[in-house]
A and B are shown apart, each in its own frame.
Chain A
Amino acid sequence: MKPASNHDHHYLEELRMMLSRFPAGLQLTQADLAFTGWLFYREEEIGQNALSNREMISLLGRATRELGVQEDAAQPAAALERLLRFRIVRSVASGYEGSYALTRLGRSLAKGLLSEVNFTGDDLCTQINSAYAGMRAVLGEDSPDKLHDWLRYVFQRTVQESIDYKLRGIEEALQSQEQRIKEYGSSGETGQFETHLEAVRVSRKLLEELLDSVQEGSSYFPLIEELYRCRETHLGNTDLLHALDRSLDFLEGLKRRVEVMLAHLVAFIRSCVKYQGFVGAFSLRDRLSAVQLDLVRHALQREVRLPILNSSRPVRLSLEWNKDTAVQAVRIDASHLAALAEFIPEAVKSRGAQWRERFLSQARSEWDQRPDRDLVVWTRELIEHCDLELSEAMTGLWFLVQDMPEWKPDVSVKPGPGWRRLMPGTLVKNVTLFSDHTRPEANHAHG
């Protein structure tokens, strides 16, 4: 691509002139730049554009003190000399002897520098807002070429650069704060540590504001949406698409950067607070450290053991399978399941016996006839009468006892000698239990 030669020639001429004017370049030190800015503000403030030699020297001296510029670079007279040599300042012939003013170069240099370095003047939110407004204006013209130009020459240059500067400025400020805090943290006084902690808190506030500017309510998201929309409508235009993508990337990156900074800073502040909590007051730390080291040495020589709760562990079930039997698949067989469905457990044996009714009716009728009987003899008679084994006698007796409350006339018990009351309603005769064939003879009766 060849630019118009006429245009080209114009630039070349200007650049050549500049080279001849600054054969040694501009060898300005940090202090010189600061002085230039100082003079610029001073000029703006009082609207007087010429200063006498004495005023100039005292002004530079004050700047040195207040800005804390390094001493050797800032001998006022020498500084003035340098500024003159680089044509930042010129001497004005206006009646006074030796009076000075900023040159056009000096003024524009200061202006440019200060607007670049000015981080707080326009906050991020404003810049994004104005970018959004600019974009709306360009979109209103409905020309892809203009949009492309705006994106490439305005958004990706001016806007991006100023936002970059701003972020970098904050990053650097935070870093230096951290550095200082760490220095104080490892060898410092409580008071100063507090001051710096406070400083970090202020920085965090600033950063939170920044985050706010890329959150809801700012133009950040509308801007992104607008860009995406353009991207969809101009899918065919490769150049524009490229520019749009780059702009989107930049905006995403911006958000990420702010978030990372914030997270980092929050973590750092937290660790500061924690550290202080752990260590306690700083004046005590060294003492405590020494004592603790002595204690460690002490523990080296003698047995020291911290008391803890004796671990009464809850019961823990641990299944340690043999490797071979560990994983045996369980198979369910359909036929087994069917068999299971048909399984009905055997009925529990009842105390009932087939001869119960026969036995009891016999007993009742006999009782009706003669309600006065010796229980043992009578039971035997009944057993014999019903053709039962003698071994069924206990069961028979049990049936009798259960049935007695129903009988008419009522049954009452006359205890013989040696009977005792086991509990209310129960009489027991004392017997001794032997291992061989001695059947315990105990009879119950409800009273």
Chain B
Amino acid sequence: MLMDNPCFVLWENEDLSRRIIHRMQRGEHIDAFLPAEFRFLEEEGPAWEEFFRFLGYRLVRTTIGEETFSYLVSQTGHMQPGRLGRGATFLGLFLSWHFLNQGIDGIEKVGAAEIHEHLLSTFDFNLLLTIFNPRGKHSRKKEESERQQRFLRDWMRTSLNELARYRFIEIKPSPRADWGTVQLYRLPALQRFLEVGRDLIQQDRDFSGKVDPEAEPEDGFARRIQRLWGSLEVPEDEDGQAPGHEDDEDAEDA
């Protein structure tokens, strides 16, 4: 069946195709910094879409700004939906905000140490600990000791590595380099963390911006995050809203 399809094109360069498939199934975002993969995806877009649909994914191609990148979304219930860690998500949001505010200077990169300092000086230390601590809720109020700071830094590093694994950012010179020398390079996919904000603004404009500025934002965020990023903040008593929900609906339609 595949042989009759336009997908057959994808077998002309097996090695490259395999690389694309494995990268994408690993959840990586493919952008122009992977030139060969990127070009293949761009040139044979429909064939790839078809192919991934056959495998049960949706190939998402985004061109926010002038930067194109692609990633996969699972469309069948066969696979447990994956989630970025809480710390990594938070860092992603923060980094995208940081780059948003940069002038043209240094738009591409920022020192990890700089981000670390910035976070520490902006947010409450204990909240940061809660976010980055892999064991989550159990942390009691900690004093901002040097030891704790070191913990926080190491956890941040783990989160950064997680971001880098999915190609949201690139870590140079290497993930294990000395903390002072680590530079974080923005990759196009980091724009995904702006999705919610963009959506909010878009909506506001559509409704002529007459939104109650006091009460809305919190609620708005929760709703939009829920809608855009799947059901992320499910209170424990609402099991009906479990991650597989969307897929069930699709099945009923079919």
Contact = CB atoms under 8 A, between A and B. Distances in A.
Contacts of B166: 308
A185 interface: yes
Given A279-B65, A295-B197, 17 more contacts: A186-B104, A268-B104, A271-B108, A274-B65, A277-B67, A288-B201, A291-B200, A298-B221, A300-B127, A304-B233, A305-B84, A305-B85, A305-B89, A306-B229, A309-B72, A311-B26, A314-B22
B240 interface: no
A307 B101 contact: no
A331 interface: no
Contact of B99 (A278, A299, A301, A309): A278
A288 B198 contact: yes
A182 B65 contact: no
Contacts of A15: none
A83 to B, nearest CB: 43
A432 interface: no
B217 A294 contact: yes
Which of A181, A185, A277, A291 has the most C-beta atoms of chain B within 10 angstroms of its own C-beta? Answer: A291
A280 interface: yes
27 contacts: A182-B103, A182-B105, A185-B104, A275-B104, A277-B64, A279-B65, A291-B200, A292-B96, A292-B194, A295-B97, A299-B131, A301-B127, A304-B90, A305-B83, A305-B229, A306-B83, A306-B84, A306-B89, A306-B192, A307-B230, A307-B232, A308-B71, A308-B82, A308-B166, A309-B71, A310-B74, A314-B22
A288 B197 CA distance: 6
Contact of A272 (B92, B104, B201): B104
A288 B101 CA distance: 10
A292 B93 contact: yes
Contacts of B25: 309, 311-312, 314
Contacts of A287: 201
Contact of A274 (B67, B80, B103, B217): B67
B97 A293 contact: yes
Given A294-B217, A295-B196, A300-B127, A307 B81 contact: yes
A129 to B, nearest CB: 38
A78 interface: no
B interface, how many residues as a size bin? 35 or more
Nearest to B65: A277
Nearest to A297: B123
Nearest to A313: B26
Nearest to A193: B104
B244 interface: no
A276 B65 contact: yes
A335 to B, nearest CB: 42
A309 B60 CA distance: 12
B100 interface: yes
A264 interface: no
Nearest to B107: A275
Nearest to A298: B221
Contacts of A291: 197, 200-201, 217
B172 interface: no
Contacts of B84: 305-308
A296 B82 CA distance: 21
Nearest to B97: A292
Interface of A: 181-182, 185-186, 268, 271-280, 284-285, 287-289, 291-296, 298-314
A289 B103 contact: no
Contact of B104 (A181, A292, A296, A303): A181
A201 to B, nearest CB: 15
B200 to A, nearest CB: 5
A300 B91 CA distance: 10
Contacts of B123: 300
Contacts of A296: 90, 93-94, 97
A277 B93 CA distance: 18
A304 B230 CA distance: 11
B107 A271 contact: yes
Nearest to A314: B22
A302 B218 CA distance: 10
Interface in B48-75: 57, 64-67, 71-74
B63 to A, nearest CB: 9
Interface in B199-254: 200-201, 217-218, 221-222, 225, 229-230, 232-233
Interface string B145-184: 0000000000000000000001000000000000000000
A306 to B, nearest CB: 4
Contacts of B80: 310
B5 to A, nearest CB: 23
B81 A310 contact: yes
Contact of A289 (B57, B101, B218, B229): B101
Contacts of B85: 305
A300 B22 CA distance: 33
Contacts of A300: 90, 123-124, 127-128, 131
B201 A278 contact: no
Contact of A307 (B67, B97, B108, B229): B229
B109 to A, nearest CB: 11
Q: Give the most central of A301, A308, A310, A314: most B CB within 10 Å.
A: A308
Contacts of B71: 308-309
B97 to A, nearest CB: 4
A285 B67 CA distance: 17
A303 B93 CA distance: 13
B74 to A, nearest CB: 6
A304 B86 contact: yes
Contacts of B104: 181-182, 185-186, 268, 271-272, 275
B82 A307 contact: yes
Q: Taking each of B57, B67, B81, B82, which has the highest tally of chain A beta carbons within 10 Å of its own beta carbon?
A: B82
Contacts of A274: 65-67, 107
A307 B230 CA distance: 7
Contact of B89 (A182, A280, A301, A304): A304
Contacts of A311: 25-27, 82
